[in-house]
Amino acid sequence: MSQLAQPSRLKSRSGFIERTLIDINNTLEQSLFAEKIAHKKGLLQALDARLKVIAMLMLLLAVSLSHQLVIIAGLYTGALILAAVSNISLGFFIKRVWAFIPFFTGIVALPALFITPGPALAHLPLGLVITRTGALTALFLLLRVGTSVSMATLFVLTTPWNSVLKALGVLHVPDVLILTLGMTYRYIHLLLHLANDMFLSRKSRILRRLKGTEERRLMAATSGILLGKSLQLSSEVYLAMESRGFRGYPHTMDRFQMRWFDWAAGLVVVLLTLLAIVGR
Amino acid sequence: MDQPNLTRQPIFEASQLCFVYNEQIPALDHVSMMVNSGEKLAILGSNGSGKSTLLKILDGLYFPGSGSVRAFTKILSERALRDDAFNFEFRSRVGFVFQDSDAQLFMPTVWDEVAFGPLQLGIAQAEVIKRVEAALLALHIEKISDRAPHQLSGGEKKRVALASVLSLSPEVWLLDEPSAGLDPRSAAWLIDFIHSQTTVVLATHDLRLVEAVAGRIYVIDENHRIVAEGTTREVLSNHDLLVQANLTI
């Protein structure tokens, strides 16, 4: 396995090469970290990936259709409990889900505070009034988005990437698309390692900070080499597939097996979804 | 070590093969050779001599500009490989291990990689599972069967690449620079593995590997022509020939 440069050592200099190396490292580390969680022993990790896809979609439906704040809050609490019993650090999980939601959803939710008609909840300077209905609408929106993102994050964190892709078969995603996505992920890793090595090799031969034009030239040259290598590799990969009998359409199989606790978990999800929808 | 035996059944018969990349770069110049069943044959040549191209032609991946190849006495051509029955027979009987394991390991996990070949040949899933488990055990990689290729070391990648072909149970192995990038322990293991197979054609410039496994050798020089053919002892004792082919100094 390729050795990656340590980002902490690189942060002291903020040149173009260093920044690129840090970005590559962060990407690879995040992917390794996610895979590590997916291979931990935990409740969700033990469940069939196909069941998790369907359960996630049903729960997303329940969150969208429910008009009871308490039900959505209950589903969110459920997501937190599932994270805890799946060996995911709650601090990490909450941060990952909520880091960007206030920014993106907040922009949408903010006007609702003021423009939704209803009794006044708070008076702000400049004559702005937050209505009670507006606050409730914004809260619904934030909680719905937060709970939905939590469900999706739980699925992605507790399922190895190859199982995530294979599980898409249950939604009738074509085999050829699943295979292509899997290969893309696999070779992105390889090309990232290659790019890492190329930038490290450049860094070892550069004695001063590069000018803007030099950085752009370096970036263009590196991109060109990577593109050339990826084209060469893709043609070799195709030959390797052909050599083992591939004739244009892939034949695949999965080893998923539904066990009693998968069925039990499925039943719980169905009941929860019905409860959330009926309870609206 | 096996010795050449003319009574053995011919597996490949290549006659006057010429191959040019992009109509400019020559790779093979009137190459003729024969591979018999049960022999370990080495194609010895320096980098860029055309030995990998020759292996790809023998595997029906490239097709020569001129000349012909027979595999199992039948003409090996693009048209012949379009026939389902011939394609199935040929791909089941001939396995190719690429020099760059990263090109060969394209599936998300080791298990999927080893299962890929048998699945493409339409083998029943129960049989595929049996073959995969057997190949993983034979190459001692059963414990890494759920790993992704980017989580493997160079030696592990080579074992997985071999397992991905072993699951096809081929009669003939085509190995392209099989010892490239291997540590001494993996290289020693590879020698044992090659000995355990019946018919092997390896393209390499690793003289130690050739000495350890091959019974017969073809030497390709830097002009992309076969300049010698003989037993391993005959070829490796010809120092001038090896220098001329840029295989030693």
For the segment A139-194, what is each residue's pLDDT rounded down to a tens digit?
888 999 999 999 999 999 999 888 888 888 888 899 889 888 888 888 988 888 88
CATH of the domain at B41: 3.40.50.300
pLDDT given for residue A218 in this prediction: 83
* Cβ-based neighbour number of residue B237 at 10 Å: 11
Select the residue from A196, A244, A252 to test the B interface by mutation, using most B Cβ atoms within 10 A. A244
pLDDT given for residue A67 in this prediction: 85
| Between A176 and A120, the higher pLDDT residue | A176
Residue A257: both structure tokens together: 């097996």
Whether residue B127 lies within 8 A of chain A, CB to CB, comes out as no
pLDDT given for residue A206 in this prediction: 78
Residue recorded with tokens 């069939």:
A48
Nearest CA to CA, how far is A106 from chain B (Å)? Answer: 38
pLDDT given for residue A5 in this prediction: 47
**What is the per-residue pLDDT across B104-132, written as a single tens digit (0 to 9) for each?**
999 989 999 999 999 999 999 999 999 99
- Cα separation of B142 and A273, whole Å? 40
Residue B178 lies in a domain: yes
B138 contacts B193 by C-beta, under 8 angstroms: no
Q: How many CA atoms lie within 13 A of A227 on its CB side?
A: 6
- Cα separation of A102 and A88, whole Å? 22
Q: Average pLDDT of chain A? A: 85
Select the residue from B106, B125, B133, B156 to test the A interface by mutation, using most A Cβ atoms within 10 A. B106
Angle at A64 between CA A63 and CA A70, to 5 degrees: 45
Select the residue from B55, B100, B102 to test the A interface by mutation, using most A Cβ atoms within 10 A. B102
State mean pLDDT over A80-86: 95
Write out the H or E segment, with its range, that includes residue B220: strand B216-220
Our count of domains for chain B comes to 1
- Cα separation of A33 and A14, whole Å? 25
**What is the per-residue pLDDT across B39-93, written as a single tens digit (0 to 9) for each?**
999 999 999 999 999 999 999 999 999 999 999 999 999 999 999 999 999 999 9
Residue B163 lies in a domain: yes
Residue B194 burial by Cβ neighbours in a 10 Å radius (0-12, 13-18, 19+): buried
B67 contacts B18 by C-beta, under 8 angstroms: yes
Nearest CA to CA, how far is B165 from chain A (Å)? Answer: 8
* Phi then psi dihedrals of residue B15, to 5 deg: -130, 120
CB-based contact B103 A236, cutoff 8 Å: yes
CB-based contact A251 B108, cutoff 8 Å: no
**What is the per-residue pLDDT across A217-264, written as a single tens digit (0 to 9) for each?**
888 888 899 999 999 999 999 999 999 999 888 888 877 888 899 999
Amino acid at the residue B103: A
- What chain A residue is nearest to B169 in terms of C-alpha separation? A244
Residue A111 burial by Cβ neighbours in a 10 Å radius (0-12, 13-18, 19+): exposed
- Cα separation of B95 and B100, whole Å? 15
Q: Closest Cα to residue B103, out of B25, B195, B177, B169? A: B177
pLDDT given for residue A10 in this prediction: 46
pLDDT given for residue B78 in this prediction: 94
Give chain A positions within 8 Å (CB) of B148: 35, 161-162, 186, 189
Residue B46 lies in a domain: yes
B165 contacts B193 by C-beta, under 8 angstroms: no
- What chain B residue is nearest to A189 in terms of C-alpha separation? B150
* Cβ-based neighbour number of residue A190 at 10 Å: 19
Q: Which of residues 154-173 of B touch A (CB under 8 A)?
A: 164-165, 168
**What is the per-residue pLDDT across B178-234, written as a single tens digit (0 to 9) for each?**
998 888 888 999 999 999 999 999 999 999 999 999 999 999 999 999 999 999 999
For chain A, what are the domain ranges? 42-171+259-278
Query: What is the ipTM for the molecules in this complex?
Result: 0.91
Residue B201: both structure tokens together: 């054609």
3-state secondary structure at position B40: strand
CB-based contact A189 B109, cutoff 8 Å: no
Residue A98: both structure tokens together: 């909520």
**Which of A21-30, A74-83, A212-221 tops mean pLDDT?**
A74-83
Per-position DSSP letters for A68-106, written without gaps between them = -HHHHHHHHHHHHHHHHHTT--HHHHHHHHHSSHHHHHH
* Cβ-based neighbour number of residue A222 at 10 Å: 17
- Cα separation of A186 and A162, whole Å? 10
Q: Which of residues 160-199 of A touch B (CB under 8 A)?
A: 160-162, 165, 182-183, 185-187, 189-190, 193
The sign of the CA dihedral A166, A169, A175, A180 is negative
3-state secondary structure at position B33: strand
- Cα separation of A244 and A238, whole Å? 10
Residue B118 lies in a domain: yes
Residue B85 lies in a domain: yes
- Cα separation of B168 and B135, whole Å? 9
Report residue A280's pLDDT band, with 50, 70 and 90 as the boundaries.
Answer: low
For B40, the domain range is 10-244
CB-based contact A250 B120, cutoff 8 Å: yes
Residue recorded with tokens 């019905």:
A274
| Residue A2: pLDDT over 50 | no
